[in-house]
Amino acid sequence: MVNYSPLIFYKMFGPNIKLLRKRRYRSQDEVSGALDIKRSTWSGYENSTCEPNFGTLVKISEYFKITVDKLLKYDLTGLSESLLSELERGYDIDIGGNRLRVLTTSVNSNNEENIELVNEQAKAGYRTGYADPDYIKVLPTFQMPFLSKQKKYRTFPISGDSMPPVNEGSYVTGEYIQNWNMIKSGYPYILLTKEDGIVFKIVENHLNESRSLLLSSTNPMYDPYEVPIAEIVEVWKFVNYISPEMPEPNLSRDQLVDTVLNLQREVSKIKQGVGEN
């Protein structure tokens, strides 16, 4: 017999099934009748004043086509419309971000992991070909001896001017992140998203709060935006980049130094004037 904590039911289960019922435009009478449950009992479930047995819980899960795990453990009322729609269509999406992910990869003649290069020609196809062995095996590969052989890396091209000093035409290398709960806020990551393909951004981990990641640019001209976890396919932690251009000098720092020097000269002149008087 599986025992569930009443605290979980009170906090998650009742609001979840109420939300799902209303999204189907069903009354309590309609749902309780379809599940062969008394209306008063169903109302108790929604109001968290009583709990279903395990058999009833399974029936409710099958009715809404959402796993028991998600009905009990996750606050569905806080999910985005796109996530809820996918759940209701029967897709067992990864709300928590910690599902085991299988990565299609390649190895060299010594059975060591290659670093695949997704060049500009292959970039457009990566959104659909990332899991296709035939796509991956034709990508150029190379090695970086200073990187750990125990981790998986891949290199991606950068477009646009949203992430200086990494300019357009550069290539960024990332370390594969399997458990997205390990994403550290404030660090750069390369992500493969369903809508935008490959993006390179500073990431804030909002998985616990809103099941999403907040993506920001180092260029202040670009506004941050959130991406729901269901829209993300792969996450790679930034480790280095290769650029054909020298980075621009930090003019703002040089200007600050000049300003300080000028102030020092002015103060010195004032002191000399005071001393002469």
Contact 156, 172 (CB under 8 A): yes
State yes or no: pLDDT of 231 exceeds 70. Answer: yes
In the sheet that holds 115-117, the strands lie side by side as 141-142, 115-117, 153-157, 171-176, 232-242, 187-193, 197-206, 212-216, 225-228
Mind listing the pLDDT tens digit for each residue in 144-196? 999 998 899 999 999 999 999 998 999 999 999 988 888 999 999 999 998 89
Mind listing the pLDDT tens digit for each residue in 82-141? 667 767 776 666 665 555 455 888 888 888 889 999 998 899 899 889 888 899 999 999
Cis previous bond, 15, omega within 30? no
- Cα 168 to Cα 105: distance, rounded to the nearest angstrom: 26
Among the ranges given (67-81, 129-143, 168-182, 225-239), the one the predictor scored with the smallest mean pLDDT? 67-81
Copy the structure tokens of residue 182. 């390990």
What is the structure's pLDDT at 174?
A: 97
What is the structure's pLDDT at 6?
A: 46
Which of 268, 224, 240 has the alpha carbon at shortest distance from 171? 240
Copy the structure tokens of residue 132. 């296709």
More confident residue, 208 or 228: 228
3-class SS at 4?
coil
3-class SS at 46?
helix
Structural domains for the chain: 6-88 (1.10.260.40), 115-242 (2.10.109.10)
